[in-house]
């Protein structure tokens, strides 16, 4: 693009995404209701003028179109302080550099066909909102997530966030929306781009056997929040960053999670199953269960193999 001549490749790629974000914020569907358009506009100008460069692993914080700091490593406590000081939910806030320079790796949350996916492991993950003053919203919720090993972010929906915001002790009172970090840009198969909000949530996992949370403390993570209602949630990278994970070729399709190294002989917990040779040699099934042929009269089970129906 002519406007981007003389700029390095990461900056050009980042500008491409930022232009998509700006177009989205100014669309009739959004109308800059998140108060981020001025921040995005000035980030674009800073890149084009050379005042700002892409520094991998570094971020800058923006409010009301002004850069609040020089590039620095992202820290949650600093983000909380600046966001709350500048009333980010009401006045707008932007973290530049949290994602990019190009499109993020996200699995499209679309399921084709009928029935559940056969080989997608599911797990429950507990979420809660960290509100101003460092206090979490009471009553975390557990949601079921599909295991997505290739995603850069956890993915859930606005109706899930509304569940977290609901004050069960006081009817009609809602906790504030989670802090907004930025807008993620995803490139679809036809080349078009989709903008997705990235908010902060706290995360943990409940161990039903031990009756306690697996992680000693709750972690803040960036989460993609899709606007519609849905159930096709994706877990993102946090689980494997936090715990030991393992699978075994025992045909169970189980995903094992540990808060300790399961290969350590001093640990007296459940071990990863050892598959039999028969299990390892077994062919991958095409389905978990089969329907009766009576449900599909168009199929003739007596037809000799290889003989055409035409």
Residue-wise pLDDT for 46-74, tens only, equals: 999 999 999 999 999 999 999 999 999 99
CATH label of the domain that carries residue 183: 2.40.70
Q: How far is CA 182 from CA 20, 100, 179, 232, 261, in A?
A: 13, 11, 10, 22, 35
Q: Exposed (0-12), middle (13-18) or buried (19+): which is 41, by Cβ within 10 Å?
A: middle
Which of residues 272 and 303 earns the better pLDDT score? 272
The rounded distance, in Å, linking the Cα atoms of 172 and 183 is: 29
Percent of residues, the chain, with pLDDT higher than 90: 52
Q: Is the pLDDT of residue 1 over 50?
A: no
Same domain, 18 and 63: yes
Evaluate whether residue 117 is within a structural domain.
Answer: no
Among 78, 96, 114, identify where a domain stops. 96
Last residue of a domain, one of 215, 242, 269: 242
Contact 45, 91 (CB under 8 A): no
Provide the pLDDT confidence category of residue 114 given band limits of 50, 70 and 90: very low
Q: Are 220 and 199 in contact (CB under 8 A)?
A: no
Same domain, 231 and 145: yes
pLDDT for residue 184 is more than 60: yes
Instruction: Tell whether 52 and 137 lie within a shared domain.
Output: no
Q: At 191, is the pLDDT very low, low, confident or very high (cuts 50, 70, 90)?
A: confident
Among left, alpha and beta (phi > 0; psi -120 to 50; other), residue 65 is left
Give CA–CA dist 105/110, Å, rounded. Answer: 15
Q: Which parts of the chain fold into alpha helices (H)?
A: 9-25, 37-49, 76-85, 88-91, 158-165, 238-242, 277-281
Per-residue pLDDT for 120 more than 90? Answer: no
Does 255 or 192 have the greater pLDDT score? 255
CA-based nearest residue to 47, from 103, 91, 86, 101 = 101
| 3-state SS class at 78 | helix
Is residue 7 in some structural domain?
yes
Beta strand 206-207 with 135-136 is: unpaired
What is the rounded distance in angstroms from the CA atom of residue 241 to the CA atom of residue 66?
A: 34
Residue 297's pLDDT is what?
A: 60
Q: Per the domain annotation, does 297 fall within a domain?
A: no
Please report whether residue 288 resides in a domain. Answer: no
Q: Are residues 132 and 64 in the same domain?
A: no
Expressed in angstroms, the distance from the first to the final Cα of the chain is 56
Q: Which residue range forms the structural domain that includes residue 39?
A: 2-96
> Do residues 144 and 87 both lie within one domain?
no
Asked whether 121 and 145 are in contact (CB, 8 A), the reply is no
**Phi, then psi, of 143 in degrees rounded to 5:** -125, 150
pLDDT digits (tens, 9 = 90+) for 193-209: 889 999 999 999 999 88
pLDDT at 80: 96
Nearest-angstrom CA–CA distance, 97 and 86: 19
Give the DSSP letter of residue 2.
G
What is each CA distance from 58 to 71, 98, 171, in whole angstroms? 6, 8, 42
Give the largest Cα separation in the chain, rounded.
75
Which tokens in the block code for residue 247?
């699978």
Residue 295 domain-assigned (yes or no)? no
pLDDT score at 107: 47
Q: Is the model's pTM score more than 0.85?
A: no
Structural domains counted in the chain: 2
Asked if pLDDT for residue 168 goes beyond 70, the answer is: no
Q: Of 216, 242, 268, which marks where a domain is finished? A: 242
103 pLDDT higher than 70 = no
pLDDT tens sequence across 225-275: 998 888 889 999 999 999 999 888 888 878 888 888 888 888 777 788 889
Instruction: Identify the residue with better confidence: 103 or 195.
Output: 195
Assess whether pLDDT exceeds 50 at residue 95.
Answer: yes
The pLDDT value recorded for residue 108 is: 46
Residue 303 above 70 pLDDT? no
């Amino acid at each position: 693009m002519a406007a981007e001549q003389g700029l390095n490749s990461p900056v050009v790629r980042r500008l491409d995404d930022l232009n998509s974000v700006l177009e989205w914020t100014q669309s009739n569907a959004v109308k800059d209701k998140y108060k981020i358009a001025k921040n995005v506009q000035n980030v674009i100008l800073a890149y084009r003028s050379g005042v700002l460069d892409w520094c991998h692993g570094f971020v800058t914080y923006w409010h009301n179109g002004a850069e609040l700091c020089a590039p620095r490593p992202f820290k949650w406590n600093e983000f909380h302080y600046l966001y709350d000081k500048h009333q980010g939910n009401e006045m707008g806030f932007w973290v530049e550099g949290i994602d990019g320079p190009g499109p993020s790796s996200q699995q499209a949350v679309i399921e084709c066909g009928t029935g559940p996916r056969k080989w997608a492991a599911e797990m429950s993950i507990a979420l809660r909102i960290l509100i101003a003053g460092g206090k979490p919203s009471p009553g975390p919720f557990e949601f079921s997530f599909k295991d997505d090993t290739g995603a850069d972010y956890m993915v859930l929906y606005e109706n899930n966030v509304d569940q977290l915001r609901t004050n069960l002790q006081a009817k009609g009172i809602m906790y504030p929306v989670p802090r907004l970090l930025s807008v993620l840009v995803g490139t679809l198969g036809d080349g078009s781009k989709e903008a997705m909000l990235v908010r902060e949530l706290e995360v943990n996992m409940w161990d039903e056997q031990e009756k306690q949370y697996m992680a000693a403390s709750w972690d803040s993570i960036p989460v993609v929040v899709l606007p519609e209602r849905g159930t096709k949630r994706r877990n993102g990278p946090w689980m494997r960053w936090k715990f030991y994970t393992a699978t075994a070729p025992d045909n169970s399709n189980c995903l094992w999670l540990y808060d300790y190294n399961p290969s350590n002989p001093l640990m007296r917990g459940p071990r990863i199953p050892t598959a039999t040779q028969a299990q390892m040699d077994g062919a991958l099934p095409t389905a978990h269960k089969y329907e009766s042929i009576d449900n599909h009269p168009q199929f003739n089970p007596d037809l000799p193999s290889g003989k055409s129906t035409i």
